Amino acid sequence: MNNGIVTVTLNPAIDETLDIPDFGVNRVNRVDATVRYPGGKGINVARVLADDPRRPGIAVTGFLGSENDGVFRAMFHDCGIADHFVRVPGRTRHGIKILDRAAGTTTDINYPGLEPTPDECQALLTRIERLADDYPVFVISGSLSPSLPAGYIAEIIELVQKKSGTVIVDTSGEALKVALRCRPDAIKPNIHELAQLLQREITGATEVAAAGQAISAPGMLTAVSMGAEGAVFCHNGQQLLAIPPQVSAVSTVGAGDAMVAAIAAGLLYDDPLEAIMRRATAFGAYSVGHIEQGIHDYTEIQALEAQVEVKNMGSNGA
């Protein structure tokens, strides 16, 4: 078996981040800088993993539009990522992210996604089943295109579980609700997605820990990110808080994906929980401080890891 990780992106995008100081509606805005890159949450996770010095084997799959896949193919080639995407007629959607550093805000404008046919959906399931023979860890990350039922994510999880694979899920809404019924090995909602799932307001680490524990199946790792306040990790009754060091925030785009990459690598290599927490929190903090994709300075990562504060919030006998 390949010692590696597969990321599944069902609704990828070509993302363009526009740096617009003092962005406002109903008036002219001027762009200071722009960055364009192949995106989608699972692809972002793979991009971060490609920079991991332990170099796990990395494969990507999902649906890509055949008419504009060149930017994806180039990135996969440059990063040494195995491309197993199912090509669908048409064009992969675009996504626009408006970054206002002065206000500390990011505004997303997302175009509609591809609409794969039943035959294309089955082709992807067949591809995932084959990949599960060779890769032990799968990350299912991001939204589903509007034409895909939430139950499709359950089909993917069950295929991987039948091959004894480890499954990490980072999604939201009905797809997350469906995924939880399959008891994946790890999930990473943010605090807003957790509140949406439970249909109630959640504030502060104590409430997050209680809610995270409530949705966690035995053995499941639940990591709930809370932005600058850190992340709560629930596992086998433990409730731990990881507090990141202060960084000069440039963009929150991709911070959650960087955390997921660290969690996936940690589970692949069977790292201790605290090591996973520190690395995931450091990856997220690094990403917030940089507009470019990926991890390019592991000296900085090590320094950030050393500054992460881990607090035991107690336990709930699981």
What is the spatial distance between Cα 183 and Cα 178, in angstroms, rounded to a whole number? 9
CA 58-293-296 angle, 5° bins: 80
**What is residue 290's three-state secondary structure?**
coil
Active site residue 297: no
How many angstroms separate the CA atoms of 318 and 48, rounded? 33
Among residues 19, 170, 257, 270, the one annotated as catalytic is: 257
Residue 143 backbone phi and psi in degrees, to 5: -80, 165
CA 255, 245, 298, 241 torsion: positive or negative? Answer: negative
| Pair of tokens at residue 20 | 């617009």
138 CB burial (10 A radius; 0-12, 13-18, 19+): buried
CA 169 to chain centre: 8
- Point out which residues pair with 95 in neighbouring strands: 15, 110
How many angstroms separate the CA atoms of 140 and 298, rounded?
26
Q: Which residues are catalytic?
A: 257
